[in-house]
Structure 1
Amino acid sequence: MGKDHIIKSMLSENVNMTPNGFAADQLNPEQFAENHALFFDKILEISSSDIAGVEGYGEFNDACKTEYESCRAFLLDTFADDKEGYWTNWKELFDTTVLEREFFETYYKEMMDRIPYCEGKRFLVYNNTFFINMITDGKSMVGFPDWSRSGISDFLLDFAIMDLNKPYLQIPELLNEYCRKRNIVIPDFKERFLCMAYYKGIDVLRWHASIDDTESCMSIMKSIRELKDRLYAI
């Protein structure tokens, strides 16, 4: 059975893998604000998937298996300098690009300090919730067509990616209010969100540095710096 078929077998019928519509990136902030609960509903549907029989953490391989036994191993190995492929000797970027060693190490430690809050939090994640990858009709449907980055992690990763993509939409603030109205309790919400956000933030930061996208790097760094104050103000 192929990867997509295995994932489909885990998902509820309320999660659409073959949506018709337009990229959610086309929504303006007001339109998203009106429909944010729909996005949150569907992401939580993904996280409620039955992953019995699926072990570990990390992105799925082609056989829909994960590589890591713990959340800590997954997050830390993402930044190993001896990985094969694109990221081999990636720390050379500190000397050749705008990637700042001090900034990276600061938020790498912030991530590490919060891993215990996420350890044991195992959910199916889409892991690609940039708005360009989510399809909507702008009214009643949100779908997720590309599951190539999916895997097992804390489900707050999917919300953290949305916020990294468009911080001005105030995803964690809206999610906090969404949960309050529905009596949904997310234990250690702020620390788990920060862990996932720092993980994905510094990972995306080094990607943009590697392609000399200085403007995106500056924007990402600003978002990362401001996030803790935003979360603690909730």
Structure 2
Amino acid sequence: MTAYEKAKLEIAEVENVLKQHFGAGPFRVTPVEGGNLSSVFSFEHERQDYIIKFSDMEGAYDTEGFVANLLTSQGIPFAKCLGQGKAGPLSYSISERIRGGNLVDCSDREKSSLLPELIGILTRMNHAGLGATSGFGWIQPSGAGTYPAWREYIISFFAEDQTGTFWEGWHSLFTATCLEKDVFEECYHRLLAYAEYNEPHRYFIHGDFQPWNILSDGRQITGIIDGNFAYGDFLVDLATLEGNLGELDVVQAYQEYQHREGIIIPDFQERLTGARYFKGLDALRFYAKMGWDDAYRQLRDYLLQLPE
């Protein structure tokens, strides 16, 4: 199986889409680095800066409008969604461009100084009011979760039949890539055992809360973008963040913040272990599919040393 390649577009193609959406230009379209699954461009319109993303995956941006409204209406610095549409086989989404660059490009000193503010934003985002919504797992355009329970979401998430999604035919990775079936199944059984601690908790989950989706000018966090939005245990986002900020002890800083704010998190260690297995298993198959063998081996060794 070859590594996944995101959709490729020329500047002229992007300009044509923008002309259809907005009318007359100019737009000053510029490619933006990053995005494993989307092709991203910045552009100008009426002296304002925007971002347009393209994906060949069905339903790639279906929930962004709901999520953007949910978060921005509650003061979370998330990119506002301004329009969506189809361009041939591709879906596109237009959002405001938040100033600053990716947090991953900040210096270690800047990341350390920004960590308290980042944890504060993460906490506020995870505790956003969800209104009359219901369900767990993937958030649908209506705002409802896709599954009645967290465990059902997990089972579906890692099921072999993923027809029509990014993971269609993913079991072939066991023979075509570095993905080891015995390792995956061992960690999956551990995930199901720890899931009982995560199951009772329903909050907003960003789903991909890592430094490429966090923006900063080096002095403050300027905004949050993208995500694999779901309802469930918010420690999934902490499990994502902790492995992506170098030597910083993200978990310790997180616990200190919760203590100062008087937020009690029952079964913290067990829930965090369940979240680590959930995010780790997904990352294992993703690294294998992308051909990132070194990252795969490092994560595999980490997961196997987690509690059983």
User: Normalised by the shorter chain, which TM-score bucket?
Assistant: 0.7 to 0.9
Identify the residue that residue 67 of structure 2 maps to in structure 1: 7
After superposition, give the CA deviation of every residue in 1:44-100 in whole Å (9 maximum; x if it has no partner): 111121112211111223343321110000112111001213323322222221111
Query: Distance between the aligned counterparts of 1:68 and 1:56, measured in 2?
Result: 5
* 1:1-234 pair list within 5 angstroms: 3-11=63-71, 13-18=74-79, 19-85=98-164, 86-147=166-227, 149-166=228-245, 168-228=247-307
SS in 1 for 2:252: helix
Look up the equivalent residue of 1:165 and give its one-letter code: N
After superposition, give the CA deviation of every residue in 1:13-40 in whole Å (9 maximum; x if it has no partner): 4311233111111123332222211111
Which of the two has greater helix per residue? 1
Unaligned 5+ runs, structure 2? 1-61, 80-97
Query: Distance between the aligned counterparts of 1:176 and 1:139, measured in 2?
Result: 23
After superposition, give the CA deviation of every residue in 1:179-214 in whole Å (9 maximum; x if it has no partner): 234332111111111111111111111011122211
* Aligned-residue CA RMSD (Å): 2.2
Q: 1:28 to 1:222 in 2, by over 3 A?
A: farther
TM-score w.r.t. structure 1 length? 0.87
TM-score w.r.t. structure 2 length? 0.67
Contact 1:38 1:142 in 2 (8 A): no
Look up the equivalent residue of 2:206 and give its one-letter code: Y
Contact 1:107 1:198 in 2 (8 A): yes
Which of the two has greater strand per residue? 2
Identify the residue that residue 38 of structure 2 maps to in structure 1: none
Query: Distance between the aligned counterparts of 2:236 and 2:283, measured in 1?
Result: 13
Unaligned 5+ runs, structure 1? 230-234
Higher CA-based Rg: 2
Contact 2:100 2:215 in 1 (8 A): yes
Q: CA deviation at 1:120?
A: 2.1
Q: Which runs of 4+ in 1 moved over 4 A?
A: 226-229
Contact 1:164 1:223 in 2 (8 A): no
SS in 2 for 1:165: coil
Which has the bigger relative contact order, CA under 8 A and spacing at least 6?
1
